[in-house]
């Protein structure tokens, strides 16, 4: 081959050489701050073919090969895919006045079981941020015994009327407590005629109205 000056001999062309792509790629997951996986990416290290030094990396879409721009943080994908293991728990947000609001907390864990974060949302799925004390919801206490509705008579006793007569009758709701077996009334005294709630001066079972005074006992003892 002739040189540029008309002579003959080998010609050496000097110029930059494009580095080649190393085939040892790494698949990573693009994880947003809330734990959502936005996608996957291949990270390709690029080495200088002359020196063997790693000069840079590039991130590409594993399907199309197009350059990929991460939206979050690139990290190793979790076992079973890129979605971290998630557990859910219903908790209560207790305000200073004692009002409780239940909400759902989703815990995210890595493949080793370590907690990596959590998110809170309402029972309807909307994001929320507890403002009070967070703890396990305490169920409402059940009544200590049975609850029943019985027909009673309100009897007014006086020395002039040793056998009282029932001036009125009403329906009263009571709850049987475990201690003593007495029927303890919690209110809700509703006259039979549908009038408003009224105070009670004396009590007898409806079956004993107009006979003799007595004490209303629980029909069953816990």
| 92 and 56 both lie in a single domain | no
7 to each of 14, 203, 211, how far by Cα in Å?
Answer: 19, 133, 143
Q: Of 157, 185, 184, 152, which Cα lies nearest the Cα of 168?
A: 152
Indicate whether 1 belongs to any domain.
Answer: no
Q: Give yes or no: residues 72 and 30 share one domain.
A: yes
Does 216 fall in a domain?
no
Q: Is 202 in the same domain as 152?
A: yes
Residue 84's pLDDT is what?
56
**Residue 154 lies inside a defined structural domain of this protein:** yes
pLDDT for residue 27: 83
Choose the final residue of a domain: 54, 76, 98: 76
pLDDT at position 41: 86
Same-domain status, 63 and 89: no
What pLDDT score was predicted for residue 80?
55
pLDDT in tens, the chain (222 residues): 444 445 555 545 455 555 554 456 788 888 887 677 888 888 888 877 788 787 888 888 888 888 888 888 888 876 654 455 678 888 999 999 989 999 999 888 776 677 888 889 998 888 999 999 999 888 765 544 444 445 555 444 444 444 444 444 444 444 333 333 334 444 444 444 433 344 444 544 444 444 433 334 333 333
In a domain, 142, yes or no: no
The phi, psi pair for 208, rounded to 5°, reads -105, 10
Residue 180 maps to a domain: yes
Say whether both 130 and 155 belong to one domain: no
What pLDDT is attached to residue 128? 92
- Contacts for 80 with CB less than 8 Å, ≥ 6 apart: none
Which of 49, 76, 103 represents a domain boundary (last residue)?
76
Would 213 be classed as within a structural domain? no
Backbone angles phi, psi at 207, to 5 degrees: -75, -15
pLDDT at site 153: 52
71 vs 53: CA distance, rounded Å? 29
Number of domains in the chain: 3
Residue 219 within any structural domain of the chain: no
In a domain, 8, yes or no: no
Give pLDDT, residue 138.
80
Range of the domain at 65: 20-76
pLDDT at residue 85 in the model: 66
pTM of the model as a whole: 0.33
């Amino acid at each position: 081959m002739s040189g540029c000056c008309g002579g003959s001999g080998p010609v050496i062309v000097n110029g930059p050489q494009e580095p080649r792509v190393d085939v040892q790629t790494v698949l990573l997951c693009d994880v947003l701050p809330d734990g959502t996986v936005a996608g996957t990416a291949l990270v390709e290290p690029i080495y200088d073919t002359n020196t063997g030094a790693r000069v840079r990396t590039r991130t590409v879409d594993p399907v199309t090969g197009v350059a990929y721009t991460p939206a979050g943080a690139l990290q190793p994908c979790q076992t079973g895919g890129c979605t971290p293991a998630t557990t859910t728990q219903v908790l209560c947000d207790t305000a200073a006045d004692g009002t409780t609001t239940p909400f759902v907390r989703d815990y995210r864990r890595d493949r080793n079981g370590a907690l990596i974060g959590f998110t809170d949302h309402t029972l309807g799925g909307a994001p929320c941020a507890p403002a009070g004390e967070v703890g396990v919801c305490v169920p409402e206490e059940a009544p200590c015994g049975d609850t029943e509705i019985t027909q009673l008579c309100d009897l007014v006793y006086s020395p002039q009327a040793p056998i009282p007569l029932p001036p009125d009758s009403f329906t009263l709701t009571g709850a049987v407590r475990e201690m003593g077996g007495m029927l303890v009334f919690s209110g809700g005294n509703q006259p039979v005629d549908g009038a408003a709630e009224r105070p009670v001066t004396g009590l007898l079972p409806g079956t004993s109205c107009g006979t003799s005074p007595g004490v209303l006992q629980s029909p069953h003892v816990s």
